[in-house]
Amino acid sequence: MLTIGQLSQVTGVKIPTIRYYEQIGLMPKPDRSEGNRRLYGQSAQDRLAFVRHSRELGFSLEAIRELLRLSDEPHQACEAADEIVRRQLVEVNARISRLVALRGELERMLDQCSRGAIADCRVIEVLGNHALCAGEHAALVANRNNGN
């Protein structure tokens, strides 16, 4: 059995995060020692490693909750898990598109810089006025502002 500090060290998850996961039900309430210290077995360590890896892959807490529920019923078909991953992949691709657009806008801002005084700085000017944005970034912002 591991204490919360040992579990944190083994999994790389901070102690407050472990407590939070317990509070929201991603982790079961641990056993307690005679001194009322939390004690965790291998199943808790495995579950926490699953949660950490899922978070590293960008899954939301709700998606992780769904995946954990599915993993608790190992004999069912995996279509539901596949669908959760498909949704995550769509989100990752959308995030990549936004980042590529942001990179382009930042590069454009630097390319247009006159290297003069801040009063004439294109970077400051563009950051202060979204209408001066161009390319994919401008389209993404326009879509967001139009509720798309």
Query: pLDDT (tens digit, 9 = 90+) per residue, 11-30?
Result: 999 999 999 999 999 999 99
Helices (H) and strands (E) in the chain, counts: 7, 2
Residues paired with 39 in a beta bridge: 31
Phi, psi dihedrals of residue 39, rounded to the nearest 5°: -130, 135
Same domain, 137 and 107: yes
Query: pLDDT (tens digit, 9 = 90+) per residue, 82-134?
Result: 999 999 999 999 999 999 988 988 888 788 777 777 776 777 777 777 777 77
Q: Helix (H, G, I), strand (E, B), or coil: what is residue 29?
A: coil
CA 146 to chain CA mean position, Å: 25
- Residue carrying structure tokens 């898990």: 81
pLDDT attached to residue 15: 96
Same domain, 50 and 29: yes
Show which of 53, 71, 89 is a domain's final residue.
Answer: 71
Query: pLDDT (tens digit, 9 = 90+) per residue, 40-97?
Result: 999 999 999 999 999 999 999 999 999 999 998 889 889 999 999 999 999 999 999 9
| Segment 134-138 long-range contacts (CB within 8 Å, at least 24 positions apart) | 134/105, 134/108, 135/101, 135/104, 135/105, 135/108, 136/97, 136/100, 136/101, 136/104, 136/105, 137/101, 137/102, 137/104, 137/105, 138/105
| Whether residue 139 has pLDDT greater than 80 | no
pLDDT attached to residue 148: 60
Domain region containing 120: 79-145
pLDDT attached to residue 53: 95
Contact 63, 84 (CB under 8 A): yes
Same domain, 47 and 86: no
Q: Helix (H, G, I), strand (E, B), or coil: what is residue 32?
A: strand
CB contact set of 124 (below 8 Å; sequence gap of 6+): 118
Same domain, 41 and 87: no
Same domain, 65 and 20: yes
Show which of 15, 40, 71 is a domain's final residue.
Answer: 71
Show which of 23, 47, 71 is a domain's final residue.
Answer: 71
Q: Taking the model in full, what pTM does it have?
A: 0.73
| Whether residue 137 has pLDDT greater than 70 | no
Same domain, 140 and 112: yes
* Overall domain count for the chain: 2
CATH number for the domain harbouring residue 51: 1.10.1660.10
